[in-house]
């Protein structure tokens, strides 16, 4: 199979219902927590993408057995001291920053050295953001220039820390929270707002956690050590994967989409708030709470009179994985859009802010970049007819998917490389697009 696709025509009108696969953040957290629970957990609708499969393979190396059953994964945990790392082992996080950073938190009590490696993209990402707080628990973490491979040697003598998380990174917060469940005493975290799936799972699992929510920061206390029982969980659909289809519908003509059973946790729905401020009418139906998480069906139709936005930075964290696709809406909106303080975007699977800036310029959109801010001058008449080649984007799944949506809505003749990049988060992406009528070769 060739690893590039061609899109030469925009998508025809559609009115369809689709289902996106399970949420990636929740899938990885479920695998990790099940691997440390006491007993057998069952995880339904687990996302079967490379990031999650690498998480499963890694816990197996740590002595945890899992089995794929008909519609769930069964994971056998032996409690918070249940990893067996007899000799020096190596685990491969692949492309997943989330898994690599979270597993470090769970390895703070490992008896032997564990080496974590990753792919080219992950090897460029910073680990100081987690190794620094984790070292304060008394752990030894070794890496060159704070990059992968990262070696960790845990300790029996963990001590609680006070940690101020200023980046708004759920990965950093969660890594410390996972270390805290192994540590005697109170670990105190002051965390800038970010996705709170770990907190909700801790509460659902009845872990000793207290959370005081303030406007910009949450004050979290975890009183460890704390074992917890195995659990059953059905992972809801991924809002980040859904967002590509929401924007496809918004930017297409006379189209409508319904996506069922999507996680709409408030800390993840920045895209809905931002796009609705831009005049899209995203509607949430059948809202319900599942084990602390809010879930709904999402529907949206094509929209002609989109308008620019001065995006409030307080929404950045809750839309952090969606800015690429939001920028496409800004490109087609009337007026100027301004997004500020997006430095974290350049720390993702690829330097997304830089790549998006060049992408928008390539399709003829006027863009002004100042450090971490981007100003996009929208063009409601945007219609492309030239050839575009997208490559060298560090196989970043979201750059690939955003390029497909641009091709299917703006026109032009596109060759998009590295289609296997979608395997890290959304292996069914192209087949779902084809079901809607997209012509992709
Ligand atoms: C994630 C947190 C975010 C996000 C990533 C998934 C998580 O990263 O970009 O895709 O599951 O905790 P940061 O916490 O580094 O912002």
Q: Which CATH number fits the domain that encloses residue 120? A: 3.65.10.10
The reported pTM is 0.98
Question: What number does the ligand 1 atom closest to the CA of 29 have?
Answer: 11
Give me the chain's average pLDDT, please: 97
Predicted local confidence at residue 87, as pLDDT: 81
Indicate the residue among 184, 204, 226 that finishes a domain: 226
Active-site residue among 23, 76, 119, 321?
321
Q: Are both 201 and 277 inside the same structural domain?
A: no
CB 426 within 8 A of CB 401: yes
Q: Are both 247 and 390 inside the same structural domain?
A: yes
Indicate the residue among 191, 226, 261 that finishes a domain: 226
Q: Are both 163 and 241 inside the same structural domain?
A: no
Indicate the residue among 207, 226, 245 that finishes a domain: 226
Each residue's pLDDT tens digit, 154-192: 999 999 999 999 999 999 999 999 999 999 999 999 999
Q: Ligand 1 pocket: which of 22, 23, 24, 25 to mutate (most atoms <8 Å of CB)?
A: 25
Predicted local confidence at residue 183, as pLDDT: 98
Asked if omega into 225 is within 30° of 0 (cis), the reply is: yes
Q: Judging by beta carbons within 10 Å of its beta carbon (0-12, 13-18, 19+), is residue 369 exposed, middle or buried? A: middle
* Cβ neighbours of residue 378 closer than 8 Å, sequence gap 6 or more: 306, 308, 330, 331, 332, 333, 334, 335, 336, 337, 365
Q: Atom 16 of ligand 1 has which residue's CA nearest to it? A: 169
321 flagged as catalytic: yes
Q: Are both 68 and 14 inside the same structural domain?
A: no
Q: Is any ligand 1 atom within 6 A of the Cβ of residue 98?
A: yes
Q: Are both 244 and 221 inside the same structural domain?
A: no
Q: Are both 158 and 9 inside the same structural domain?
A: no
Q: Is residue 231 part of a domain?
A: no
Tell me the residue range of the domain where 305 lies.
4-22+236-435
Predicted local confidence at residue 85, as pLDDT: 74
Q: Are both 28 and 12 inside the same structural domain?
A: no
Q: Ligand 1 pocket: which of 101, 171, 194 to mutate (most atoms <8 Å of CB)?
A: 171
Q: Are both 289 and 309 inside the same structural domain?
A: yes
Question: What number does the ligand 1 atom closest to the CA of 167 have?
Answer: 16
Predicted local confidence at residue 153, as pLDDT: 95
Q: Which residues of the chain have pLDDT under 50?
A: none
Each residue's pLDDT tens digit, 190-221: 999 999 999 999 999 999 999 999 999 999 99
Predicted local confidence at residue 216, as pLDDT: 93
Q: Are both 183 and 329 inside the same structural domain?
A: no
Q: Are both 18 and 35 inside the same structural domain?
A: no
Q: Is residue 440 part of a domain?
A: no
d(CA 218, ligand 1 centre) in Å: 17
Q: Judging by beta carbons within 10 Å of its beta carbon (0-12, 13-18, 19+), is residue 124 exposed, middle or buried? A: middle
Q: Is residue 441 part of a domain?
A: no
The number of distinct structural domains making up the chain is 2
Q: Are both 165 and 245 inside the same structural domain?
A: no
């Amino acid at each position: 199979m060739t690893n590039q696709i061609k899109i030469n025509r925009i998508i025809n009108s559609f009115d369809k219902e689709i289902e996106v696969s399970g949420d990636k953040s929740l899938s990885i957290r479920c695998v990790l927590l099940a691997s440390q629970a006491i007993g057998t957990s069952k995880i339904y609708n687990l996302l079967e993408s490379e990031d999650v499969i690498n998480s499963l393979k890694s816990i197996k190396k740590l002595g945890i057995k899992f089995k794929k059953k008909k519609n769930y994964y069964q994971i056998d945990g032996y409690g918070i001291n249940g990893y067996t790392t007899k000799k020096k082992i190596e685990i491969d996080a692949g492309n997943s920053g989330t898994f690599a950073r979270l597993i470090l938190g769970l390895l703070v009590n490992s008896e032997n050295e564990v080496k974590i490696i990753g792919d080219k993209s992950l090897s460029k990402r910073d680990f100081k953001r987690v190794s620094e707080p984790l070292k304060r628990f008394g752990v030894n973490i070794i890496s060159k220039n704070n990059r992968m491979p990262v070696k960790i040697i845990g300790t029996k003598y963990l001590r609680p820390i006070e940690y101020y998380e200023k980046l708004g990174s759920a990965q950093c917060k969660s890594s410390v929270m996972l270390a805290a469940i192994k540590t005697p005493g109170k670990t105190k975290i002051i965390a800038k707002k970010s996705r709170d799936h770990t907190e909700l799972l801790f509460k659902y699992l009845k872990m000793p956690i207290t959370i005081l929510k303030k406007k910009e920061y949450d004050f979290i206390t975890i009183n460890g050590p704390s074992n917890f029982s195995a659990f059953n969980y059905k992972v809801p659909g991924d809002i980040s994967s859904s967002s590509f289809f929401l924007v496809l519908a918004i930017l297409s003509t006379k189209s409508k989409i319904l996506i069922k059973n999507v996680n709409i946790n408030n800390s993840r729905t920045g895209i809905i708030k931002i796009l609705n401020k831009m005049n899209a009418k995203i509607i949430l139906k059948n809202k319900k709470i599942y084990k602390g998480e809010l879930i709904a069906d999402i529907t949206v139709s094509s929209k002609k009179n989109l308008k620019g936005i001065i995006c409030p930075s307080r929404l950045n964290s809750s839309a952090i994985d969606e800015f690429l696709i939001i920028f496409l809406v800004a490109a087609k909106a009337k007026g100027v859009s301004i997004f500020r303080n997006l430095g974290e975007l350049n720390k993702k699977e690829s330097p997304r802010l830089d790549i998006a800036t060049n992408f928008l310029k390539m399709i003829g959109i006027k863009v002004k970049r100042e450090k971490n801010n981007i100003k996009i001058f929208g063009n409601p008449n945007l219609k492309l007819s030239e050839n575009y080649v997208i490559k060298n984007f560090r196989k970043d799944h979201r750059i690939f998917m955003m390029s497909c949506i641009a091709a299917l809505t703006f026109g032009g003749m596109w060759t998009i490389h590295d289609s296997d990049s979608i395997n890290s988060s959304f292996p069914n992406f192209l087949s779902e697009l084809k079901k809607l009528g997209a012509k992709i070769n």
